[in-house]
Amino acid sequence: MLLEGDTMLHLAVRANRDNIIDLLLRSQGIDSTIQNKVSSTEILIDHKHSLGAGAFGCVYKGTFNGESVAVKTAHEGKENMLLQEISLMIQCRSPYIVDVVAKSTMKPPKLALQYMDCGDLRKYLNAKQYNVTTTIEVAPLQVAW
């Protein structure tokens, strides 16, 4: 099934075609090690628009190059945890995980991620559990995927 926005990589992953995935990722001209490392001042945070928080940091809505992004920041003293997460997210890219848009490893470190304008999966699943109307409809198979 072809979904809007699918790339060749999405289709290869869905079809479990490891040989095609490898071919696509190793194609000439594709450098999977490129990192959008920027100055901390280039990733702007809207501190009034919190998207969530955890043990190591907070996520806010922000902008990078005029585009909406989710910006992950570290709590004081937890900067090394965020730096480790940045490294892991760059190494473990997947079409099923939000993409890293930009990173700043200068103090304070920031991680700019794709902004999911329909919210996160947990909120969606909670809304469906209590029959709350949602902006989009996702089939259970898509969630499991």
Domains of the chain listed by start with CATH number? 1-32 (no CATH), 34-118 (3.30.200.20)
Measured distance CA(135)–CA(48) in Å, rounded: 23
For 27, 54, 113, 135, 145, the CA distances from 138, given in Å and listed in that order, are: 32, 26, 22, 10, 11
For 43, 53, 75, 103, 105, the CA distances from 65, given in Å and listed in that order, are: 8, 24, 25, 13, 18
pLDDT given at position 34: 56
pTM: predicted TM-score of the whole model, two decimal places: 0.65
Is 48 among the annotated ligand-binding positions? no
pLDDT given at position 76: 92
- 8 Å CB contact between 120 and 54: no
pLDDT given at position 139: 67
- pLDDT string in tens for the chain (145-residue length): 556 667 777 788 788 888 887 787 777 666 555 567 888 889 999 999 999 898 889 999 999 999 999 999 999 999 999 889 888 887 777 767 788 889 888 888 999 998 887 777 777 778 878 888 877 777 665 555 4
